[in-house]
Amino acid sequence: MDLLKPLIALLAIVNPIGVLPFFIHFTESFTREQRQRTIRISAFTAFVVIAVSALAGLKIIEFFGISLASFQVGGGTLLLISALSMLNAQPAESKPGDVSEGDEKIDAGASIAVVPLTIPLLTGPATISTMVIYAEKTRHVWQLGVLVGYGAVIGLVTFLAFSAAGRIAQVLGRTGINVMTRLMGLILAAMAVELLADGLVKLFPVLASQALH
C-alpha cells in the first residue's frame, strides 16, 4: 500500500479550508471561549472519526446493520437542514429562549462542533469509506498505526484552519459574511442533494434504471 495516498485522499475529502465558511456561520454569535472550545472539539472529533474508521469502521457499521448508503442518506439530510438555515442567513443553533444563556453557551459549542461541523461536513461517508478501503489494504499493524496518525494530522490541520477563521471574518465584515453564508448554503444544498441521490440510488437501484428512461 502506498502510504502517502491515504493522507492525500483525506486532505482532499476533509478539506478544512472549504468548511471555514460554515464554521464562521455556525459560530458567529459565540464568545471567544466558546469558539475555542468548538475548534478543539471539532479537531479532536475529526481525529476520532478517522481513527475509529480505520480501526473498526466497517465492523461498527455492520454491527448496527447500517450500510454506507444509509449513512449517506442520513448525512445528506443533515446537510440539507443546515443548508436551509444558511440560505436564510440564520444562526445554526437559534432556539426559542427558555434555556438560560449559561446553559446554552455550554451546550452550543459542543453540539455544533460534532454535528454538523465534524459530521458530516468534515468527516462524512466519503471519509469513512476511504479509511475502510485503505484499512482493508493494510498487511501490518504498523500500517494501521500510520492511518491513525493521519487522523491526528487532519485534526491538527482542522485546528489551524478554524483558528484562522476569526481573522477572515474580520476582513469580510457582516455584509460579506451574510453574502458568503447564502452562497455557501446554496452550494451545501446542492452537495446534500448529490449525497442523498447517491445514497438513494444505492439503496434502491431501480431508481437508477428509471432515471435512464
DSSP for 42-106?
A: HHHHHHHHHHHHHHHHHHHHHHTT--HHHHHHHHHHHHHHHHHHHHTT--TT---TTS-HHHHHH
Highest average pLDDT, of 5-9, 51-55, 164-168, 201-205, comes from 51-55
Per-residue confidence at 169, pLDDT binned at 50, 70, 90?
confident
Identify the pLDDT of residue 64: 86
Does residue 112 surpass a pLDDT of 60? yes
For the chain, which residues make up each domain, given as ranges? 4-212
Interhelix angle 141-163/32-63, nearest 10 degrees: 150
Q: Return the pLDDT at 210.
A: 66
- The CB-based long-range contact list for 155-160 (8 Å cut-off, 24+ gap) reads 155/43, 155/44, 155/46, 155/47, 155/50, 156/43, 157/11, 157/14, 157/16, 158/14, 158/16, 158/42, 158/43, 158/46, 158/122, 159/39, 159/40, 159/42, 159/43
CA pair distance 56, 14, nearest whole angstrom: 19
* CA dist 187 → 10, 102, 130 (Å): 21, 33, 23
pLDDT digits 0-9 by tens, 34-90: 999 999 999 999 999 999 999 998 788 778 888 878 877 887 887 788 788 778 865
pLDDT at 3: 77
Cα–Cα distance measured from residue 50 to residue 17, given in angstroms and rounded to the nearest whole number: 18
Longest Cα–Cα distance in the chain = 56
Length of the chain measured in residues = 213
User: Which pLDDT score, from 0 to 100, does residue 44 have?
Assistant: 96
Residue 202 in this model has a pLDDT that exceeds 60:
yes
Q: How large is the average pLDDT for residues 196-213? A: 78
- At 179, is the pLDDT very low, low, confident or very high (cuts 50, 70, 90)? confident
With bands split at pLDDT 50, 70 and 90, how would you rate the model's confidence at 149?
A: very high
Give the H or E element holding residue 15: none
Q: What is the pTM of this model?
A: 0.72
Q: Is the dihedral of CA 97, 100, 103, 105 positive or negative?
A: positive
C-alpha cell at 125: 461517508
C-alpha cell at 198: 447517491
Separation between Cα atoms, residue 88 and residue 84, nearest integer Å: 7
The whole-number pLDDT of residue 108 equals 56
The whole-number average pLDDT for the span 162-180 is 82
Mean pLDDT of 14-22: 86
Q: What does the block give as the cell for 17?
A: 479550508
Question: What pLDDT band is residue 109 in, cutting at 50, 70 and 90?
Answer: low
Q: How far apart are CA 110 and CA 35, in angstroms?
A: 10
Mean pLDDT of the chain: 82
Question: Any idea which of 42-51, 78-87, 103-112, 176-185 has the lowest mean pLDDT?
Answer: 103-112
- Cβ neighbours, 10 Å, residue 137: 12
